[in-house]
Every structure is written in C-alpha cells, then in structure tokens.
C-alpha cells in the first residue's frame, strides 16, 4: 500500500484499528482491483485513515499536522469521487 504503515504498537485500540484498516484495504483491493475508480478512492480513504491511526500515540504538533493533512486528502478524494459519480450518472440519463 502506498504510504500506509501498519505498525503494531503498545496501544491495543490502535493496534486493532490498524488491523481492521489493513483487512479492509486487502478486501477492497482483492474484490475490486486497482482499475475500479471507486475502489481506488476507497483504498485512498483507507490509507488516509491509516495515516491518522499511525500518528495517534504521538501527541505533538507534527502528528496533529499530519492528521490534518490526511483529513484534507480524504476530503479531496471523497469530493472527487462524488463529482465523478454524479457526472457519470448525468451522462447516463436520457
């Protein structure tokens, strides 16, 4: 996965979240593959969430800025996906 780190740290909640995200990433990639536009968006959103989970134990400004960057990337990705799906649906209407 591009840029994703699934570190197993001491925090069991964080470790569980990382495992769930890793499982979700593998399931989406396996089921839909990298050629499906919506699957690519979902994979990117999972990677953004993974970046935030990876930074949870660090309570410093750098970690907060990284989490904000991941959130911004997720919003941009979701916005793109909604626009693309909306445009596609409009083209299919008679």
In this predicted structure, the answer to whether residue 6 has a pLDDT above a threshold of 60 is no
Q: What is the tens place of the pLDDT at every residue in 7-62?
A: 444 567 677 888 898 999 999 999 988 788 888 888 888 888 888 887 776 667 78
User: pTM for the whole thing?
Assistant: 0.66
The residues, ordered by sequence, that sit 6+ positions from 39 with a Cβ below 8 Å of its Cβ are: 28, 29, 31, 32, 33
The stretch 64-92 carries a mean pLDDT of: 83
Q: How far apart are CA 75 and CA 87, in angstroms?
A: 18
pLDDT of residue 2: 46
């Amino acid at each position: 996965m591009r840029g994703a780190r699934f570190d197993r740290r001491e925090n069991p909640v964080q470790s569980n979240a990382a495992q769930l995200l890793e499982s979700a990433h593998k399931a989406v990639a396996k089921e839909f593959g990298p050629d499906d536009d919506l699957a690519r968006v979902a994979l990117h959103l999972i990677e953004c969430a993974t970046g935030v989970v990876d930074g949870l134990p660090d309570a410093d400004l750098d970690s907060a800025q990284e989490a904000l960057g991941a959130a911004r990337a997720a919003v941009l990705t979701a916005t793109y996906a909604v626009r693309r799906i909306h445009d596609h649906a409009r083209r299919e209407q008679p």
